[in-house]
Each structure stands twice: as structure tokens, then as C-alpha cells.
Amino acid sequence: MTEFDRSDMTASSKRRLAADPLNRTGDDARFFKGWLKRPFVTGAVSPSSRALGRAMSRFVPDGVVEAGDVVLELGPGTGVVTQTLIDRGVAEENLVLVEYSAEFCALLKARFPRATILEGDAYAPLEPGALGGRRLGTIVSSLPLFTKPDAMRETLIGGALDTLPPGHPFIQFSYALTLPVKPERLGAQVELSPWVKLNLPPARVIVYRRTAP
Ligand SMILES: C[S@@+](CC[C@H](N)C(=O)[O-])C[C@H]1O[C@@H](n2cnc3c(N)ncnc32)[C@H](O)[C@@H]1O
């Protein structure tokens, strides 16, 4: 996993993004292109809706926002959920974003210049120092978990809960009727949001937490 570097971008994409980084009109097309190229990585045909992003961001604890703890976002894509985290009160500089696609990393860098953007695989452990010595407060994931085997999902969420303080959430969205991992496999509790119908397809938010033993 490496910190995204603007020198990786072509001159024309730098110019286009610099001209209007917040213009989202091309996002649906970019996303669909990403899905055609790597359907199991992109995991959806269009970006998440703001309604879904807000439903996820609501689960970030007030204490995390107030303390300025890091919020780690896995699979931020075009940054819809990222923006709702900022609207929720998370400071941009407290966001660490791990994204596989170089094209989405370029978009994220233009849109959220003060966030830390790591290009790479969210299933790999974070390198020491990736959070700049700050406390991790919450993990928010848009990863398409069901494209991975059970054991990988379990390792991802279990490992995430190991790194979070007790009671702090791992927040995931899913289109599926079943849970990506049964909470008892993780020694965790789960909380579900109502289905968010203003998303294509409708999705719900799944929150895993582990209380102190
Ligand atoms: C369903 S999309 C996220 C949509 C995002 N919330 C948005 O609105 O644009 C899943 C995202 O996870 C990224 N992704 C998938 N597997 C990944 C991995 N192993 N590591 C990092 N990012 C990954 C994809 O590139 C894609 O951007």
C-alpha cells in the first residue's frame, strides 16, 4: 500500500481534475467503466447514494468526531461516503482512505486534498505509521465483501475490530439479505439500519462492535 502520488497521474487528467474536482457529472460513467474493467473489485455499477452515505456516517460516534480520531475508509471509490463523513463533522485531515483503483485515488486526491490516500489492497494490513501516530476511531467500508471467501471476510472484519478500541464501530454497507460474517464468529455484536431505498440497489448498513471483555 503506498500513499497516492499525483505524479502517477497523466497531465490531462491532472488538468481536468484541477479545473473542477467537485464536478460529479462524470462519476457514473467512470464508475461503470471501472465495473466493466474489474466487476468483482468495483462491486457496483454506480456510486453509492448520498442517502446511503448519510446512513453509514450516522454510526460514527460523537466522541470520535470530537476527539479528532482517525476514520479509516476502505473502498471509498468516488468519495460519496467520504463527503458524508465530512458533513457528519469528521475533519478531512482525520480521514485515511484506502482505495485499489488508481483512477479513483486521483479523484479522491483532487476532492479531499487534506485526507491521506493510500493506493492498494484494503485486505493487506496497514503499515506502521499509516495513521500518523493517531488513534483509530472508526472503520467505514464500502468493499464488495461477498466477492471474497468467508475466511477472508472474517479475517478482515475480525482484524479491524482488533485494531479498534472496544465499542467502536466497523461500519459496512451491503445489498445482501445475509450478513457478510456472523457476529458470533467474531465475538462481536451487530446492529442493522433500515433498508436505504434511495440507493441502486437498496442497501442497508451493518455495524459490528466488540465490547470490552
Ligand atoms: C461499491 S464501490 C464503493 C462505492 C463508493 N462508496 C462510491 O460511492 O463511489 C467499492 C470500492 O471498493 C474498491 N475496492 C474493492 N476492493 C478493494 C480492495 N481490496 N482494496 C481497496 N479498495 C477496494 C473499488 O475500487 C471501489 O471503489
Candidates 58, 103, 170, 129; CA nearest to 116 is 129
Name the residue of 33, 41, 45, 147 whose CB sits within 8 Å of the most ligand 1 atoms, as the mutation to test its pocket.
41
Residue 170's SS3 state is: strand
Q: How confident is the model at residue 19 (pLDDT cuts 50, 70, 90)?
A: low
Question: Per the confidence metrics, is the pTM higher than 0.85?
Answer: yes
Domains of the chain in start order, with CATH, are 2-209 (3.40.50.150)
Distance of alpha carbon 131 from alpha carbon 165, whole angstroms: 15
Taking the centre of ligand 1 as the mean of its atom positions, its distance from the CA of residue 163, in whole angstroms, is: 21
Q: Is the pLDDT confidence value at 12 over 80?
A: no
Query: Where do runs of H (alpha helix) occur along the chain?
Result: 11-19, 27-37, 39-42, 50-57, 62-67, 80-88, 102-111, 150-163
Higher-confidence residue of 1 and 72: namely 72
Distance of alpha carbon 166 from alpha carbon 213, whole angstroms: 9
For the ranges 8-22, 42-56, 65-79, 183-197, the lowest mean pLDDT is seen at 8-22
Q: Tell me the β-bridge partners of 196.
A: 203
Higher-confidence residue of 2 and 102: namely 102
